[in-house]
Structure 1
Amino acid sequence: MRTTAEVVMGVEELVEVVLPGPVEPEGLEIRRGTVPSPGPGEVLIRMEATGVSFAEQQMRRGRYYDQPAFPFVPGYDLVGTVVTTGEGVEPGLTGTRVAALVKVGGWASHVLVEAADVVPVPDGVGPAEAETMVLNGITAWQMLHRKARIRTGQTILVHGANGGVGSVLVQLARTAGVTVIGTASARHHDALREQGVIPVDYRTEDVAARVRVLAPDGVDAVFDHVGGRSILDSWQLLAPGGTLVSYGTASTRDDTGSKQWPVFKLLGRVWLWNALPNRRHAYFYNIWAGQALAKSRFRARLRADLIEVFAALQRGDVTARIAAQLPLARTADALRLAESGTIAGKVVLNP
């Protein structure tokens, strides 16, 4: 059996997937090197599962609004086992399976993470299952319970109900006793109906008109990752007292020009709508909001919400929607699959 020291001294090799610039998936590069050692307050995680989210699809085009300069290692979240700990970290954490939200760096065999940012994965939950619940689960939980503050008996509209975030969101909402209308292409409608979701085909139907038929008095909340013109319809579909949660600009993924401008436009609309004398509310959700001003509070909230999501997974309130699992060496294939629009759930990468 290899010891922790042997691993860190280079018996195991560091493998990273590098995004060198705005490239097609085949332009991703594999970089190899020495496994790093954790510094004070850090842990070294051997990755067991990481994922392909919409953020990476934007990043490879240079379209994610606050991505780092090229080249860099993408990977928004990961699950893995703590190999060793740095100074000031409880040594007993070694050998523990943990989850972490990192924004970049997750597409690697080994990742350094601040110990304060890791959350233990409950016993009995596999790495791929847990991975689908990190970014997607926290996002869904916070939008439902911290922003929209949904209540039993309400009706909500979820755009992209078959996607990574959407699939978790609709399950959490149904568990809370909420009626869910979900947009998706027709191939996903049977699966949505099985979950108690009312499906609407965004490709062949007038979504706004159909939702008005289903909810004549408006919906209590809309969760919109599309942006662009969709956000205008989403606002108009709200009932008095309703809440719009915008959390992306998917419609601008293939656009050119400023990557910040679509976000600035959304923020401007949100500010204007909230300034109007009406009973409706709008938010632009950013999972990193508050980190810079109150890091300890941000971490505590993130930890608490991920623990809630893992508990829901253990109870069976939500099921991990894994579209496919591919090895890190096939990240290009994984990225193409995630971008194809043909899958339900999340594409997971393994070592």
Structure 2
Amino acid sequence: MMTNARMAGADLATEVVLPGIVEPSGLEVRVGPAPEPGPGEVLLAVEASGVSFAEQQMRRGKYYDQPPFPFVPGYDVVGTVLRAGPSTDATLTGRRFAVLTKVGGWSSHLIVKAADLVEVPQGIDPAEAETVVVNGITAWQMLHGLAKIRSGQTILVHGANGGVGSTLVQLAAHAGVRVIGTASPRHHDAVRALGATPLDYRAPDLPGEVRALAPDGVDAVFDHVGGEGIVDSFNLLAPDGMLVSYGTAATKNEAGSSKLPVLKLVGRLLLWNALPNGKHTHFYNIWAGKRRADTFQERLRSDLTSVFGLLADGAITAQVAARIPLSRAADAMELAESGTVTGKVVLVPDSNPESEPKSESEVPSAG
């Protein structure tokens, strides 16, 4: 955090601190000197940072491996390099990059390792680029790395209006895949515009509605919900289908251990993998393979660059639900948790002329 960072210069930095298990209004905004990059590091002027499900879990103390309170949340950022540290490539200065951070991103200035930078193509708006950093990497790796989806197949995406879901739908549709997407009815037009057939996630017989569209089962299900609904996701698979689980949203408000719901879910998936029915399951963790830093970063850079390329070409569109000033992170968290938006809520600098939250009627549903 800033109080323990190397300090330098006259730059003032703003950061949003999660002091403990609090409501969004309990987030704290602090201002102090900007940190100074060390060897192999750069100082980023953060232009966009997202509000994802991870931060929503962190404020509840429910994210699987979050650090001890207090800390600065912020899973990913896009920003421009202000300064390069000693023994760091000086040509990085002035260029725009994306970084996967896990924590620390809700800051106006951020120290990151130069080796972790992924360049953002010219012409892409920072907030739009931000929507496909953790979401784009997650969607790309689940779709192409794990499920290995092919043109002509059919998949089911739960939460198709969400940050990851809306990206998944677009990537799949671009690959020639038929997509069924669950969402609240208020989001069905947006989901349809993204390229999916929408279904109400609260439908009394949702599995029956999916089977009506895919009588032989779906080739893959992407499920961030977990809970008992994961059983339906597994049963909806076609022979040799793949269930990719990547969250436990169903248990987000349950008291108790943050690790137990994940461990129970993983145990269930492993048990299903042992069944002789040809179906496959996998629990996706974006940090898998982190111990092999070079390979991990190379794969991450390659996958995110692929997604950035599609965004730059217009093959997919950024789903920016709202741009909200960093100092109003509490408002951003409340909006992200409201279930009223399509895409991702993005924090932007307070000085940004576009950094005013939109009313629900003004929030874009597909762009």
Which TM-score band applies after superposition, normalised by the shorter structure? over 0.9
| Matched residue SS, 2:257 | coil
Matched, 1:63 2:67: no
Q: What's the CA shift for 1:9?
A: 3.8
Counterpart for residue 358 of structure 2: none
C-alpha separation in 2, matches of 1:195 and 1:78 = 24
Alignment of 1:202-241 (within 5 A): 202-241=201-240
Do the aligned residues in 1 keep the contact of 2:170 with 2:195 (CA within 8 Å)? Answer: no
Which one of the candidate residues 294, 299, 312 is aligned to 1:314? 312
| Matched residue SS, 2:111 | strand
Q: What's the CA shift for 1:13?
A: 0.5
C-alpha separation in 1, matches of 2:163 and 2:58 = 17
C-alpha separation in 2, matches of 1:333 and 1:203 = 27
Q: What's the CA shift for 1:311?
A: 0.3
Which one of the candidate residues 292, 295, 304 is aligned to 2:293? 295
Counterpart for residue 361 of structure 2: none
Matched, 1:263 2:262: yes
How large is the RMSD of aligned CA atoms in angstroms? 0.9
Counterpart for residue 191 of structure 2: 192
Counterpart for residue 5 of structure 1: none
Alignment of 1:1-351 (within 5 A): 9-292=8-291, 294-351=292-349
Q: What's the CA shift for 1:284?
A: 0.1
Q: What's the CA shift for 1:20?
A: 0.2
How big is each residue's C-alpha offset from its partner over 1:49-100, in whole Å with a ceiling of 9 and x where there is no partner? 0010000000000010110000000000000000111122211001110000
| Matched residue SS, 2:140 | helix
| Matched residue SS, 1:79 | strand
C-alpha separation in 2, matches of 1:348 and 1:196 = 23
How big is each residue's C-alpha offset from its partner over 1:219-262, in whole Å with a ceiling of 9 and x where there is no partner? 00000000001111101000001000000001111110011001
Partner amino acid, structure 1, of 2:150: R
Partner amino acid, structure 2, of 1:331: A
| Matched residue SS, 1:177 | coil
Do the aligned residues in 1 keep the contact of 2:225 with 2:247 (CA within 8 Å)? Answer: yes
Q: What's the CA shift for 1:34?
A: 1.2
C-alpha separation in 2, matches of 1:194 and 1:270 = 33
Counterpart for residue 3 of structure 1: none
C-alpha separation in 2, matches of 1:31 and 1:321 = 29
Do the aligned residues in 1 keep the contact of 2:64 with 2:259 (CA within 8 Å)? Answer: yes
Gaps of 5+ in 2: 1-6, 350-367
C-alpha separation in 1, matches of 2:9 and 2:16 = 19
Runs of 4+ with deviation above 6 angstroms: none
C-alpha separation in 1, matches of 2:280 and 2:195 = 27
C-alpha separation in 2, matches of 1:130 and 1:76 = 14
TM-score by length of structure 1 reads 0.96
Partner amino acid, structure 2, of 1:108: S
Q: What's the CA shift for 1:204?
A: 3.3
Partner amino acid, structure 2, of 1:180: V
Counterpart for residue 362 of structure 2: none
C-alpha separation in 1, matches of 2:193 and 2:336 = 23
Q: What's the CA shift for 1:202?
A: 1.0
Do the aligned residues in 1 keep the contact of 2:166 with 2:194 (CA within 8 Å)? Answer: no
Q: 1:319 to 1:205 in 2, by over 3 A?
A: farther
C-alpha separation in 2, matches of 1:74 and 1:103 = 7
Do the aligned residues in 1 keep the contact of 2:98 with 2:118 (CA within 8 Å)? Answer: yes
Gaps of 5+ in 1: 1-7
C-alpha separation in 1, matches of 2:241 and 2:170 = 20
Does 200-209 or 92-101 show the bigger shift? 200-209
TM-score by length of structure 2 reads 0.92
How big is each residue's C-alpha offset from its partner over 1:146-205, in whole Å with a ceiling of 9 and x where there is no partner? 000000000000000000000000000000000000000001111222233111101234
